[in-house]
């Protein structure tokens, strides 16, 4: 039956790069800065490990959509949609919550897309306007598989940028509980000591790539010296490191398996 995407798609072009893993922390903090997403996803977490288990399951589905068989991807997405339909209730302030709300799902997807594009363009290579448009259209299809109808998602990449700017400027709010738990989950996760240096590198990327308003709401410090250091690191990685890496180290597991 084939796959939803082929090697000409921008979705594969971007997500074949292992360095895209650096976008994960930023995406999570962006999601948690949405009050409803925070209460619906993070606040219901029973332990610090559960978000990673959820994200791992979501990653498997996304990899299947990107690289795998279409029939298997359809079965997995149907299971996710069914789970979302059953997740609903009322938040503490009385706001109704539905995990299958297209507006909420759009913010979750948009946080992933925006973070992935930023890391790809800084650490791999800049995109052309045409490539950005193709990438967003690929994600619109992914969103449709997760029950975000085309009418509910920004029509073009320019519309997507306008949506992100509006959300960051007017709709996001990091409540104290979200700040505390999200920082524990993202910035100080329960990992073995040998992995701590990798977490510190990821934390610098996460803090440095957040929109300034969101970074301030999380209480993360930043300064011009760190900004220069981050940009030098990204430039060095893009121009020197990545071109020299063998595919076994550079490519994400899904891309290697497809190859």
Beta-carbon neighbour count of residue 132 at 10 Å? 19
Q: Residue 93 pLDDT > 80, yes or no? A: no
Highest mean pLDDT of the ranges 16-30, 46-60, 78-92, 154-168: 154-168
Q: Tell me if residue 90 falls in helix, strand or coil.
A: strand
Residue 52: pLDDT band with limits 50, 70, 90: low
How much is the average pLDDT of 182-193? Answer: 79
Q: How far apart are the C-alpha atoms of 15 and 11, rounded to whole Å?
A: 6
Please state which of the ranges 142-146, 185-189, 227-231 shows the lowest mean pLDDT.
Answer: 185-189
Between 60 and 49, whose confidence is greater? Answer: 60
pLDDT at position 42: 62
Q: Residue 44 pLDDT > 60, yes or no? A: no
Q: Residue 46 pLDDT > 60, yes or no? A: no
How much is the average pLDDT of 64-81? Answer: 94
Between 110 and 253, whose confidence is greater? Answer: 110
- Is residue 177 within 8 A of residue 43, CB to CB? The reply is yes
Residue 50: pLDDT band with limits 50, 70, 90: low
Q: Tell me if residue 98 falls in helix, strand or coil.
A: strand
Residue 47: pLDDT band with limits 50, 70, 90: very low
How much is the average pLDDT of 203-209? Answer: 94
Which residues, 6 or more positions from 68, have their beta carbon under 8 angstroms from its beta carbon? 3, 254
How much is the average pLDDT of 65-89? Answer: 90
Terminal C-alpha separation, the chain: 18
- Residue 251, beta-bridge partner list: 17
pLDDT at position 43: 56
Mean pLDDT of the chain: 89
pLDDT at position 96: 80
Which residues, 6 or more positions from 11, have their beta carbon under 8 angstroms from its beta carbon? 5, 66, 135, 138, 139, 142
- Residue 97, beta-bridge partner list: 89
Residue 2: pLDDT band with limits 50, 70, 90: confident
Residue 150: pLDDT band with limits 50, 70, 90: very high
Q: Residue 218 pLDDT > 90, yes or no? A: yes
Q: How far apart are the C-alpha atoms of 41 and 44, rounded to whole Å?
A: 6
- Residue 88, beta-bridge partner list: 98
């Amino acid at each position: 039956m084939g796959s939803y995407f082929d090697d000409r798609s921008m979705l594969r072009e971007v997500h074949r790069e292992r360095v895209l893993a650096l976008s994960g922390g930023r995406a999570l903090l962006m999601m948690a800065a949405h009050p409803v997403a925070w209460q619906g996803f993070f606040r219901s977490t029973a332990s610090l490990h559960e978000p990673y288990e959820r994200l791992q399951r979501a990653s498997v589905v996304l990899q299947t959509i990107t690289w795998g068989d279409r029939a298997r991807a359809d079965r997995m997405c149907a299971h996710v949609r069914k789970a979302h339909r059953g997740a609903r209730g009322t938040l503490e302030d009385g706001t109704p919550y539905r995990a299958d709300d297209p507006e909420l799902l759009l913010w979750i997807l948009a946080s992933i897309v925006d973070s992935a594009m930023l890391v790809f363009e800084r650490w791999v290579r800049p995109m052309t306007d045409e490539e950005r448009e193709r990438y967003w259209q690929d994600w619109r299809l992914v969103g449709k598989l997760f029950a975000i109808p085309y009418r509910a998602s920004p029509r073009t990449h320019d519309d997507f940028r306008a949506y992100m700017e509006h959300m960051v400027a007017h709709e996001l709010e990091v409540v104290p509980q979200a700040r505390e738990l999200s920082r524990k989950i993202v910035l100080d996760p329960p990992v073995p000591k040998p992995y701590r240096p990798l977490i510190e590198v990821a934390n610098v990327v996460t803090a440095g790539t957040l929109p300034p308003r969101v970074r301030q709401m999380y209480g993360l410090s930043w300064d011009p010296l760190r900004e220069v250091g981050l940009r030098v690191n990204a430039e060095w990685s893009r121009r020197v490191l990545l071109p020299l890496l063998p595919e076994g180290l550079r490519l994400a597991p899904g891309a290697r398996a497809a190859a």
